[in-house]
């Protein structure tokens, strides 16, 4: 930093210092259970997923159709209650090949998160989900994909009722 | 505007390290004490305290601002914590500024602290809770995803290669080799090193991303009339801006940070900057990932869309280039204790504009610099513009 200061505090420890108990550290396990209300709009979205339908919502004032649905338009602040079923076919807006889990464990086969623009929305209006049933090196932006659903009896009204999106067969 | 003019008059900073032995309060105290000492003030001179720190989840201490207040010199004083994710460090510019500009305080102490290593084994896992609990979290998202998805979209939209982007990591890590507080300065790093590093979430590789670190930074801000008595070289806050885009981050053009442009326009208007490419002499944009520096230069209107990589390739953004970008070494080189890293950028402008940056000093006599940060679900833009000229 400034050349006028000669010494800088801040003492680095190594991973081993902590693991081998060379410094005092405390491990705590938080107990934090939450009960979340899905809310009006996402509640309908989840009901739709259980029935095998992806619901979007249309703002009749902005004339845009978005997903996930919301109860109000964040842009014009009008109520948003024109729920519309969307196609479960869409286009890969962007994707990644991820070799680490959410808690930073290394994995050999990558997860393939993607933003998928569903047909019937007003782009950009994608959702985040995972790709599957495809070799990682085949995935590309612009790829046409379709939702692969869990069997009806296994659906719970959750985003995971869609197992993943896979490439739409051509022809 | 009937606001008072505000200047930065002092600054302090700890080393950015991995797993600091010091507690968050101790880190904050070191930086705050150093900032006061640097301008010859004591706590008695401080009217109010502005604290910035990122999620409580990192430390496992709820209401971290209250916890940090002792180390931040806030005993018995009016204190306020701001938190807009990664944007917080630069948001402390506007936060400190309006405390003084409003006339409420003559002098404020502004403290940013982050200790990311407390979350064990890796701070990354704390970020799961940034995602929507119902529509996204069941997919077990990794924070790297949103950067990787955005970076891929940016590359695709403008035909930018990994090699183009890797040059940013090389530039910043080399710059950081001259920073005494840097964690990852590397004078001899090459583009090949970046391209050969471990793939974390393609297109993001290990050396494309800044490290998890601990550290603290503090600045002292003072009102016109007071600032000139504290130092003969106050550095003036010329403009501030901030903006929040929607949390529906997948409903957005990921190739361009609109919220950064809105924050920048607010700050440029206030600073009277009409031609930012000519009038901004040093830029410290937020670079937790190398592509982000480029993305942000475009959002700041300092490069045409998709053209920021060319500025890096041509050396325009080198420390001795026409528009030095991250002469400090940025987050990629100095380290990324989130909020502290943002305020480090503001402090860097202070030192650079006073000619006190030592081996990092940009050539010539820069008169105006811009710091910018961004955060949360890629939705926050914050901008602070400092300059040697007292605003009109």
Q: ipTM value of the model?
A: 0.92
Q: What's the pLDDT at A171?
A: 36
Helix/strand/coil for B362:
coil
Rounded distance between C-alpha atoms, residue A161 and residue A157, angstroms: 7
pLDDT band of residue B377 (cuts 50, 70, 90) is confident
pLDDT band of residue A2 (cuts 50, 70, 90) is low
pLDDT band of residue B2 (cuts 50, 70, 90) is confident
Contact present, B238 and B368 (Cβ < 8 Å)? yes
Share of chain A above pLDDT 70, in %: 96
- Average pLDDT estimate for B210-234: 96
* Res A1 pLDDT > 60: no
Q: Name residue A57's beta-bridge partners.
A: A66, A83
- Average pLDDT estimate for A123-134: 95
Contact at CB, A115 and B250, closer than 8 angstroms: yes
Any B CB within 8 A of A31 CB: no
- Average pLDDT estimate for A131-156: 97
Q: What's the pLDDT at B13?
A: 97
Q: Please tell me the distance in Å from A105's CA to the nearest CA on chain B.
A: 10
- Average pLDDT estimate for B213-240: 97
In order of A75, A88, B231, B267, the CA distances from B88 in angstroms are 24, 39, 27, 16
pTM of the model: 0.96
How confident is the model over B140-178, as pLDDT tens digits? 999 999 999 999 999 999 999 999 999 999 999 999 999
Contact at CB, A3 and B200, closer than 8 angstroms: no
Q: What's the pLDDT at B306?
A: 98
Rounded distance between C-alpha atoms, residue B270 and residue B385, angstroms: 9
Rounded distance between C-alpha atoms, residue A57 and residue A38, angstroms: 16
- Average pLDDT estimate for B367-387: 95
* Res A169 pLDDT > 80: no
Q: Name residue B235's beta-bridge partners.
A: B8
Q: Chain A, 120-149: which have a CB under 8 Å from a chain B CB?
A: 124-130, 141
* Res A7 pLDDT > 60: yes
Rounded distance between C-alpha atoms, residue B332 and residue B213, angstroms: 11
Helix/strand/coil for B225:
coil
In chain B, the residue whose alpha carbon lies closest to the alpha carbon of A27 is: B120
**Chain B environment of A98 (Cβ under 8 Å):** 142, 144-145, 148, 200-202
Closest by CA position to B171, among listed B378, B323, B389 = B323
* Res A51 pLDDT > 50: yes
Any B CB within 8 A of A8 CB: yes
Q: What's the pLDDT at A110?
A: 97
How confident is the model over A70-97, as pLDDT tens digits? 999 999 999 999 999 999 999 999 999 9
How confident is the model over B63-113, as pLDDT tens digits? 999 999 999 999 999 999 999 999 999 999 999 999 999 999 999 999 999
Q: Where are the alpha helices (DSSP H) in chain B?
A: 24-38, 56-59, 64-68, 88-101, 143-158, 162-176, 191-195, 227-230, 258-271, 276-279, 290-299, 308-313, 330-333, 338-353
Rounded distance between C-alpha atoms, residue B35 and residue B182, angstroms: 18
Contact at CB, A96 and B145, closer than 8 angstroms: yes
* Res A3 pLDDT > 80: no
- Min mean pLDDT across A131-140, A141-150, B145-154, B373-382 is at B373-382
Contact present, B120 and A103 (Cβ < 8 Å)? no
- Sign for the pseudo-dihedral over CA of B228, B231, B232, B237: negative
Closest by CA position to B235, among listed B55, B75, B391 = B391
Interface-testing mutation among B250, B343, B350, B355, with chain A (most A C-beta atoms within 10 A): B250
The minimal CB distance from B125 to the residues A74, A103, A160 is found for: A103
pLDDT band of residue B1 (cuts 50, 70, 90) is low
Contact present, A80 and A41 (Cβ < 8 Å)? yes
Interacting residues of A137 by C-beta distance below 8 A, sequence separation 6+: none
How confident is the model over B319-339, as pLDDT tens digits? 999 999 999 999 999 999 999
For residue A46, the surrounding DSSP H or E stretch is helix A40-50
Q: What's the pLDDT at A90?
A: 97
- Sign for the pseudo-dihedral over CA of A11, A17, A18, A23: negative
Q: Name residue A66's beta-bridge partners.
A: A57
pLDDT band of residue B285 (cuts 50, 70, 90) is very high
Q: Mind giving me the DSSP string for B277-291? A: HHH--EEE---SBHH
Q: What's the pLDDT at B127?
A: 86
Any B CB within 8 A of A113 CB: yes
The minimal CB distance from A130 to the residues B34, B139, B181 is found for: B139
Contact present, B333 and B339 (Cβ < 8 Å)? no
Helix/strand/coil for A83:
strand
Rounded distance between C-alpha atoms, residue B294 and residue B303, angstroms: 8
Q: What's the pLDDT at B121?
A: 82
Helix/strand/coil for A129:
strand
Contact present, A122 and A64 (Cβ < 8 Å)? yes
Rounded distance between C-alpha atoms, residue B353 and residue B236, angstroms: 10
* Res A63 pLDDT > 70: yes
Interface-testing mutation among A3, A10, A97, A162, with chain B (most B C-beta atoms within 10 A): A10
In order of A17, B52, B59, B273, B311, the CA distances from A21 in angstroms are 6, 31, 19, 55, 48
Cα radius of gyration (chain A): 23
Rounded distance between C-alpha atoms, residue B8 and residue B237, angstroms: 7
Q: Please tell me the distance in Å from A169's CA to the nearest CA on chain B.
A: 23
Helix/strand/coil for B44:
helix
* Res A6 pLDDT > 80: no
pLDDT band of residue A170 (cuts 50, 70, 90) is low
Interacting residues of B265 by C-beta distance below 8 A, sequence separation 6+: B241, B301
For residue A16, the surrounding DSSP H or E stretch is helix A15-19
Count other C-beta atoms under 10 Å from residue A107's C-beta: 10
In chain A, the residue whose alpha carbon lies closest to the alpha carbon of B23 is: A10
Q: Please tell me the distance in Å from A82's CA to the nearest CA on chain B.
A: 18
In order of B35, B234, B324, the CA distances from B31 in angstroms are 6, 19, 26
């Amino acid at each position: 930093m400034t050349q006028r200061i000669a010494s800088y505090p801040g003492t680095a420890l190594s991973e081993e210092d902590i693991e081998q108990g060379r410094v005092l550290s405390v491990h705590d396990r938080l107990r934090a259970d939450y009960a979340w209300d899905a809310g009006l709009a996402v509640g309908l979205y989840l009901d739709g997923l259980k029935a095998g339908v992806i619901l979007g919502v249309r703002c009749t004032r902005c004339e845009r159709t978005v997903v996930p649905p919301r109860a109000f338009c964040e842009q014009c602040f009008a109520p948003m209650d024109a729920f519309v079923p969307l196609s479960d076919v869409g286009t890969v807006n962007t994707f990644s090949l991820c070799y680490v889990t959410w808690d930073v464990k290394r994995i050999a086969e990558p997860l393939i998160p993607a933003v998928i623009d569903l047909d019937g929305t007003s782009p950009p209006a994608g959702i985040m989900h995972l790709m599957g049933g495809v070799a990682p090196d085949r995935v590309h932006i612009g790829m046409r994909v379709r939702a692969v659903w869990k069997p009806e009896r296994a659906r719970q009204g959750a985003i995971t009722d869609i197992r993943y999106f896979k490439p739409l067969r051509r022809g | 505007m009937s606001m008072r003019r505000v200047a930065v008059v002092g600054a302090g900073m700890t080393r950015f390290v991995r797993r600091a032995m010091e507690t968050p309060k101790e880190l904050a105290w070191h930086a705050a004490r150093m900032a006061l000492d640097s301008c010859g003030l004591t706590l008695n001179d401080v009217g109010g305290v502005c604290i910035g720190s990122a999620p409580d989840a990192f430390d496992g201490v709820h209401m971290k601002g209250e916890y940090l207040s002792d180390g931040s010199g806030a005993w018995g004083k009016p204190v306020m914590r701001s938190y807009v994710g990664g944007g917080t460090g630069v948001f402390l510019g506007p936060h400190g500024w309006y405390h003084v500009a409003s006339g409420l305080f003559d002098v404020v102490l502004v403290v940013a602290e982050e200790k990311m290593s407390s979350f064990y084994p890796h701070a990354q896992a704390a970020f799961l809770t940034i995602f929507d609990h119902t529509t996204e979290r069941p997919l077990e998202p990794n924070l790297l995803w949103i950067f990787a998805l955005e970076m891929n979209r940016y590359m695709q939209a403008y035909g930018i290669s990994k090699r183009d982007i890797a040059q940013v990591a090389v530039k910043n890590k080399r710059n950081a080799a001259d920073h005494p507080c840097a964690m990852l300065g590397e004078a001899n790093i090459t583009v090949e090193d970046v391209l050969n590093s471990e793939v974390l979430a393609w297109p993001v590789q290990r050396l494309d991303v800044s490290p998890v670190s601990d550290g603290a930074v503090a600045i002292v801000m003072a009102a016109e009339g007071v600032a000139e008595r504290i130092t003969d070289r106050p550095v003036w806050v010329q403009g501030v801006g901030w903006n929040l885009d929607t949390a529906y981050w997948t409903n957005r053009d990921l190739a361009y940070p609109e919220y950064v442009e809105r924050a920048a326009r607010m700050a440029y208007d206030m600073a009277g900057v009409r031609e930012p490419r000519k009038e901004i002499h040093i830029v410290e944009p937020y670079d937790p990932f190398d592509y982000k520096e480029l993305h942000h230069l475009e959002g700041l209107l300092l490069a045409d869309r998709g053209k920021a990589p060319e500025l890096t390739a041509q050396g325009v953004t080198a420390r001795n280039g026409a528009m030095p970008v991250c002469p400090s070494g940025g987050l990629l080189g100095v380290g990324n204790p989130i909020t502290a890293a943002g305020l480090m950028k503001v402090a860097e402008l202070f030192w650079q504009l006073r000619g006190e940056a030592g081996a990092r000093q940009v050539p010539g006599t820069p008169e105006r610099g811009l710091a910018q940060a961004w955060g949360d679900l890629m939705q926050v833009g914050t901008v602070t513009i400092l300059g040697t000229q007292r605003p009109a």
